[in-house]
Amino acid sequence: MAIYRLLRTFLFLLPPEFVHSLSHLYLKLFSRAYRFNSHTNQVIKGLRVGNKIGLAAGFDKNGQLIPELEDIGFGLIEIGTVTPKAQPGNPKPRLHRLEKHESLINSLGFNNHGMEAMLSNLKSLRRRGALGINIGPNKNTKFENILEEYLILYRAFSSHADYITINISSPNTPGLRNMHDPHCFKDLIRQISAERSTSNDKPKILIKFSPDENHDTYIKLIEILNNSDLDGVIISNTTVDNDLKIKSGATSINGGISGKLLQDKSNELLAFFKKNLNPKKIIVAVGGVFDVDSYNKKLDLGADLVQIYTGFVYEGPSLVKRIVQNGK
């Protein structure tokens, strides 16, 4: 960890998105140096995972680093967000560090190589842990056509994934969070459930939620989920909470906040979902996990599995080993 902190001092002098690309190269070259006996092969509410610590979507958008990420100890890896067609995402700069608060702001906008490229990357892939694929619509897709794009992506990836995450919560795709409207949400759940019922492959299906809706909306969405056969939730995506932007001095920067600034908000929502969601559903928690204590707190609040992203950026690959060896 001390070595990474020294390296981080240099890396954080460079543009964040450039460092992100460097980290991919680093893992390609050196991931085997981090290998350890990380897999306990658990089954969590029907989902087989290597262990309870996972990588959140956004780090490996195209499914190019799965063996390397397993090397460093992740028990579940979520790739994406992938869209039907390749798209460049939003204009740069679109990734910003808030170092004082150990947080990030991103307005990336689902930049990825598209469905066909990811499918090519997944051919003949051997994996040890669970693979999740996070799916979302293209930026220029009309709202009335979003559901069809989710279905296209589900059909494409259902045979490749242990679970598929329906991303309705990125703040960087215009109108996407309107899928939290209970009427739209119910239609989404109905259609994706019907699609799975006719499919030969039946991966788990999770919904990734925004942390910025009101409690009345969440109650309605949870009721719909509880009456469905979908498998669980991911709590939560990044926040656009203006109070947190004021606190961080980042009011002029567009995008969603992740990291320690998100921790309290995501934990509050996690506890709310634990209280109200059908206990048979899987709860994956993400937001502000930087050490064993913050990982354990997610489990104490009701998470079945925990993901990291920003903590991984700030703490480095050794964070995974510390959590696996010392977490609950």
Nearest residue to 269 (alpha-carbon basis) of 201, 217, 324, 206? 217
The residue whose two tokens read 């190269």 is 25
Q: Are 160 and 200 in contact (CB under 8 A)?
A: no
Q: Tell me if residue 170 is catalytic.
A: yes
Nearest residue to 284 (alpha-carbon basis) of 264, 301, 262, 265? 301
Cis peptide before 174 (omega within 30 of 0): no
Residue 83, both tokens: 């869209």
As a whole number of angstroms, the distance between CA 24 and CA 18 comes to 10
Single-letter residue type at 54: G
Residue 150, both tokens: 């989710």
As a whole number of angstroms, the distance between CA 314 and CA 27 comes to 15
Task: Exactly one of 158, 170, 210, 258 is catalytic; name it.
Answer: 170
As a whole number of angstroms, the distance between CA 22 and CA 302 comes to 35
What residues are annotated to the active site? 170
